[in-house]
């Protein structure tokens, strides 16, 4: 039976972003909705980076902490482990130790860690601050400079500190994560502010703020879908950067990844539950449009990569 024409094509394209030097990775670049290869071009697969930290991950739940036992006390060992053993395609170094409530490490401490990690691995590096607005604007410019020539991603620039961080990313040729708080208009506004200061819109990665499955995922999901529709259907250029899901950080702090089966028998095995939680959160956001992810558990990454294989 003849059925109506159902396929749709769009005038807009998501910018492709290339990171790294010795080993490059590209994500974004599609001119269609997530995984809609039946009606458009999807030149690149989503990129998942393994998260490591400048300090030992004491507050990570056991299920994921134990994976990195013996390497997580040293960022260089940790990064090497991700690259060599886990075959990481990219690494995300979170400078959480610089947070005033953590170890309050200095910008110089951070620079040293960044330099050591950069010289130890070949895969692209994403450098994330501690999400402390003031401290990040102190630390990130210095590490951006130290990482000059490595084509990294620096993040996150927020409304309150984007100027210094974006200027540093620009001066040192890095890509930039721009984070706003679960609102398409705020996200658009931040990208506009960035381009107004001369930042190339094709070097931005939009972070509309992540949330974990069961803890606001539906907000992130819908904001991402709306951003992607604006990019493709309305051909809105400031909405065309690829999107970022900071999954691991949001998932591994909630109860579902920590409560034991003894305390909550109706929730079943903790190990599987926690790993699936991270994978499911990533897959949900991937279906909504994100193409760059930071994750923690290798098994969750493996599951998501398998999902991408079946979708691409």
Which residues contact another protein by CB under 8 A? 1-4, 6-8, 35-38, 213-218, 221-222, 225-226, 229, 253-256, 265-270, 272-273, 275-277, 279-280, 283-284, 287-288, 299, 303-304, 306-307, 310-312
Residue placing its CB nearer to another protein in the complex, 41 or 272 = 272
**Which region holds residue 216: left if phi is over 0, alpha if psi is between -120 and 50, else beta?**
left
Shortest CB 276 distance to another protein, Å: 5
Note whether 131 binds ligand B12 by CB under 6 A.
no
Residue placing its CB nearer to another protein in the complex, 154 or 276 = 276
Q: Is 177 helix (H, G, I), strand (E, B) or coil?
A: strand
- How far, in Å, CA of 47 to CA of 39, rounded? 22
Which does residue 255 touch among ligand B12, another protein, none (CB within 5 to 8 A, set by kind)? another protein
Contact 281, 217 (CB under 8 A): yes
Quickly count: other Cβ atoms within 10 Å of residue 207's Cβ: 25
Residue placing its CB nearer to another protein in the complex, 76 or 229 = 229
Residue placing its CB nearer to another protein in the complex, 105 or 276 = 276
Residue placing its CB nearer to another protein in the complex, 52 or 280 = 280
Which does residue 88 touch among another protein, ligand B12, none (CB within 5 to 8 A, set by kind)? none
Residue with smallest beta-carbon separation from ligand B12: 182
Note whether 29 binds ligand B12 by CB under 6 A.
no
Residue placing its CB nearer to another protein in the complex, 127 or 279 = 279
Q: What residues numbered 157-196 form the site for ligand B12, per CB under 6 A?
A: 181-182
Note whether 225 binds ligand B12 by CB under 6 A.
no
Contact 298, 67 (CB under 8 A): yes
Which does residue 37 touch among ligand B12, another protein, none (CB within 5 to 8 A, set by kind)? another protein
Find the helix packing angle between 162-171 and 184-196, rounded to 10°. 50
Shortest CB 181 distance to ligand B12, Å: 4
Shortest CB 46 distance to another protein, Å: 14
Residue placing its CB nearer to ligand B12 in the complex, 16 or 216 = 216
CA dihedral 135, 50, 292, 280 (to 10 degrees): -110
Which does residue 182 touch among another protein, ligand B12, none (CB within 5 to 8 A, set by kind)? ligand B12
Report residue 256: phi and psi, to 5°. Answer: -60, -20
Shortest CB 207 distance to ligand B12, Å: 12
Whole-Å CA distances, 72 to 100, 114, 128, 145:
21, 15, 17, 25
Which does residue 256 touch among ligand B12, another protein, none (CB within 5 to 8 A, set by kind)? another protein
The DSSP secondary structure of 200-211, one letter per residue, reads -GGGEEEE----
- How far, in Å, CA of 180 to CA of 186, rounded? 6
Note whether 26 binds ligand B12 by CB under 6 A.
no
Where do the H-state alpha helices sit in the chain? Answer: 62-65, 75-84, 107-120, 133-146, 162-171, 184-196, 217-232, 247-251, 270-288, 298-311
């Amino acid at each position: 039976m003849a059925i109506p024409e159902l396929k749709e094509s769009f005038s807009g394209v998501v910018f492709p972003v290339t990171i790294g030097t010795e080993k490059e990775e590209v994500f974004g670049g599609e001119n269609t909705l997530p995984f809609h290869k039946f009606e458009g071009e999807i030149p690149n697969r989503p990129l998942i980076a393994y998260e490591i930290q400048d300090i030992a991950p004491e507050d990570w739940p056991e299920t994921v902490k134990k994976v990195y036992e013996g390497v997580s006390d040293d960022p260089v060992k940790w990064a090497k482990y991700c690259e060599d053993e886990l075959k990481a395609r990219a690494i995300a170094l979170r400078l959480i130790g610089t947070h005033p409530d953590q170890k309050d490490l200095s910008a110089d401490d951070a620079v040293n860690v960044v330099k050591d990690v950069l010289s130890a691995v070949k895969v692209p590096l994403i450098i994330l601050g501690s999400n402390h607005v003031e401290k990040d604007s102190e630390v990130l410019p210095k590490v951006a400079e130290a990482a000059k020539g490595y084509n990294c991603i620096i993040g996150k620039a927020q409304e309150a500190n984007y100027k210094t961080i974006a200027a540093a990313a620009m001066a040192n040729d890095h890509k930039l994560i721009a984070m706003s708080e679960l609102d398409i208009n705020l996200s658009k506004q931040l990208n506009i502010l960035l381009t107004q200061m001369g930042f190339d819109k094709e070097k931005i990665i939009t972070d509309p703020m992540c949330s974990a499955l069961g803890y606001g995922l539906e907000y992130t999901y819908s904001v991402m879908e709306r951003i992607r529709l604006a990019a493709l259907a309305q051909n809105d250029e400031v909405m065309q950067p690829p999107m970022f899901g900071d999954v691991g950080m949001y998932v591994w702090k909630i109860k579902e990844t920590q409560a034991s089966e003894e305390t909550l028998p109706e929730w079943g095995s903790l190990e599987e539950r926690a790993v699936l939680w991270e994978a499911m959160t990533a897959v949900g956001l991937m279906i909504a449009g994100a193409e760059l992810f930071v994750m923690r558990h290798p098994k969750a990454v493996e599951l998501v990569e398998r999902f991408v294989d079946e979708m691409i």
